[in-house]
Structure 1
């Protein structure tokens, strides 16, 4: 019996049904051609072992499970392929007689490199490919073209480029897939959505604070958008980096995985702001969304955007190397309770407030430890639920004063900054429980507590809690001098390279 040809939609960072134009294209093509539709996601076990932390893996698998449930409502299902996309997809092109492939456009080099290989194979096999921009509000390549191919190096310059671009309305998929386009159930064997215990022991994980998936994403979006006044008055600097419950939306993990359409978020924000006085970019919620677009545009235009060397937008700084300090920072053992509480929250829950990220990133790099932002970016890649290639690199360059932000003399204090929004140290008491009985006067600086107080609190610094690995008051001044020297050296280097008129 002759096999029925197939149409594939390849899910990557678009783990949703709503506003998924590439998926709708695949469904329409399958219906028009009377082909089978197969929706696939490729999961590489090797990448999971080396690049994705346990919280992000759990979030991903929950998102895939929810995606499968939502696809079944459309009379379809999700095929999860285990292995490398560049090896497994070509095999399936033959096995399933694929004639048409849809997917999304992305700028992450890993996906770009995959696309080059897959597109070459598809061309050889006469498979037609459609790629859609659906992970950003704007087509970042069009924004770069509008700027004559140059990277906008400031947020304001970026806003000037996109201010007159009309954002299309979101699309919906309303029709169920016809039975004659549904792949046989027996074909799914071996391609089911994996369970978490296939990769790790789930019992070792903390309870799930932010469950993955499109259903949860839409629920969270509608909950916050219903608070019109809150949306209009939102200003990021006025939110708290150390509140026990998040003072922001925590929609970022859903956007980064594509469980929530960033375009839908954009339109919902526009609706909430319409007809009302509201905060403005960069501090508004819309402003936060535009930061994401800014970094995506920069990432699309800059070579080696996630590295210092060979990155045209990044200042070259002679960072030091100290594996012990890096490990202490990553594990929340620096001896600075506010820094340690943030890093422990990150490791436990997979999310920390944006201003908390500012604190720990500054501490690792130019503020205290003088360790390269690339090392911090790797740790965030492992732990963050909302890890995003372009945002991760862009924010780390900003916070280390390597690009986009150059006021390196503005350093966060690991003591004073946290006190602004949590004088009692409740955040520290939750995430650094060994210090929970410390008096408020010493909760941010336990090394200052008299020995009798430490004994009474049940935790002696240097035994139950580590001593400070650096003296902030002294080291941040030394690091400022190093930054000043690095800036001078970069300026001189550019002056030498500049052609004489």
Structure 2
């Protein structure tokens, strides 16, 4: 790369598209954007597919997301915005009319983005959505960086190592996978500034009432607040009890325990990416190294994260995994 090209690349703008991965720590997409661009646009697009209330839904909320899930998401977005602001940036919240990919493509064009960074997502809806965006980016000469950071491993790599098919037992998955990569935990005190956003309406993270949930916003509020800050706090509090971590055995937990849960209650934080699975895994390993003995997978605490990756890999590598018809690993019941 000559000096002129290098200068142009450095001065270019990057867009970080948040979907899951709602965190600053161990965020390879955010890290790549800040390293490669003079201006960085952190963006989250409100998706009506999940956020539009539906009175006919079987539980309060939309047809695809209950009110508790939507509340947790909004709390996570507010926390992410606060953490970005401490780094001299902010979360740019856009609202899609129908298709999220249309909103992202419009922002790429209007803000003259030269690099798009987002965490890879293996779910069918996300794959179709992301292909529309990456096709637009390719046609527009926009570089795309989409690292795997929602899971411990890259499901595609596991399937390739296993001869082109997903491991269908936990034991074969663990044997194939090996040790997870280390998290990207470099500390930094600031992010590049946001560039000009033109005439875009940049929304604050909305409240439940503003999304049309009305009285549902005042229904029972669970004690588990969304966001990276709460996720890291809960993880550290759980790992402080090294004896509990070392002796953790999933089948022996009490599923009815509520005020003092028998597990870490970190699942929702992992689902939304408020907590990095890789960071959590390696923090557990640090505890194991400080104890004489500890439980082993599949029942150990680290083993639960491996279960999570196992099912992500099987679902990614099995067409029609979410249904009976056309699913070759599902018993066909006529």
**TM-score, normalization: structure 1?**
0.59
CA distance in 1, matches of 2:44, 2:232: 21
Quote the residue 2:50 is aligned against: 47
In the alignment, structure 1 residue 16 sits paired with structure 2 residue 2? no
**How many residue pairs get matched?**
308
Q: Work out whether 1:196 is the aligned partner of 2:208.
A: yes
Kindly indicate whether the alpha-carbon contact (under 8 Å) linking 1:68 and 1:77 is maintained by their aligned counterparts in 2: yes
Pair 1:298-2:306 in alignment: no
Q: Taking structure 1 as reference, are residues 74 and 282 closer, same or farther at Cα in structure 2, changes over 3 Å only?
A: same
The yes-or-no answer on 1:128 pairing with 2:143 is yes
In the alignment, the residues of structure 1 paired with residue 48 and residue 130 of structure 2 have an alpha-carbon distance, to the nearest angstrom, of 19
Equivalent position SS for 2:44: strand
Q: Against the structure 1 CA distance between its residues 90 and 242, is the aligned structure 2 distance closer, same or farther, given a 3 Å change threshold?
A: same
Q: Which has the higher helix share?
A: 1
User: Does residue 56 in structure 1 map to residue 72 in structure 2?
Assistant: no
Q: Check the 8 A contact 2:18/2:118 in 1, yes or no.
A: yes
Structure 1 residue 292 displacement after superposition = 0.3
CA distance in 2 between counterparts of 1:185 and 1:119 reads: 21
The farther-off stretch of 130-139 and 165-174 is 165-174
Q: Displacement of 1:183 after TM fit?
A: 3.1
> Contact 1:21/1:171 (CA < 8 Å) preserved in 2?
no
CA distance in 2, matches of 1:196, 1:259: 20
2:275 to 257, 260, 278: 260
Partner of 1:171 in structure 2? 185
Once the 2 structures are TM-superposed, how far is the Cα of residue 93 of structure 1 from its aligned partner? 1.5
Task: Work out whether residues 24 and 83 of structure 2, in 8 Å CA contact, stay in contact via their aligned partners in 1.
Answer: yes
Question: Equivalent residue of 1:41, what SS?
Answer: strand
Query: 2:121 & 2:207 partners in 1: Cα distance?
Result: 27
Q: How far does residue 28 in structure 1 lie from its aligned partner after superposition? A: 1.1
Unaligned runs of 5+ in 2: 1-10, 53-62
Q: What's the CA shift for 1:149?
A: 0.8
Shift of 1:184: 5.3
Change in CA separation of 1:177 and 1:243 when aligned onto 2, cut-off 3 Å? closer
Task: Give the direction of change, closer, same or farther, for the CA distance of 1:106–1:121 in structure 2 (3 Å limit).
Answer: same
1:85 correspondence with 2:100: yes
Counterpart contact for 1:5–1:96, Cα < 8 Å: no
How much does 1:237 deviate?
1.0
Q: Name the CA distance, whole Å, in 2 between partners of 1:294 and 1:46.
A: 27
Question: Structure 1: which 4+ aligned runs deviate by more than 6 Å?
Answer: 185-188
SS for the counterpart of 2:309 is helix
Match of 2:255 in 1: 241
Q: Which of 215, 218, 222 is residue 208 of structure 1 equivalent to? A: 222
- For the pair 1:289 / 2:298, whether they are aligned, the reply is no
- Select the structure with the greater relative contact order (CA < 8 A; seq sep ≥ 6): 2
> How far apart are 1:204 and its partner, in Å?
3.4
Find the aligned partners of 2:196 and 2:241 in 1 and give their Cα distance: 45
- The alpha carbon displacement at 1:124 in A equals 1.2
Look up the SS of the partner of 1:269 in the other structure. helix
TM-score (norm 2): 0.88
Larger radius of gyration: 1
Change (3 A) 1:182 1:190: closer
Aligned residues of 1:17 and 1:173 also touching (Cα < 8 A): no
Pairwise CA distance, 1:207: 2.3
1:309 to 2:325 alignment: yes
Alpha-carbon RMSD across the aligned residues, in angstroms, is 1.8
SS in 1 for 2:226: coil
Q: CA deviation at 1:186?
A: 8.2
Q: How far 1:269 sits from its partner (Å)?
A: 0.8
Shift of 1:271: 0.7
TM-superposed deviation, 1:170: 3.2
Deviation (angstroms), 1:133: 0.7
Indicate the SS of the match to 1:80. strand
Measure the CA separation in 1 of the matches of 2:128 and 2:277.
24
Structure 1 stretches of 5 or more lacking a match? 319-501
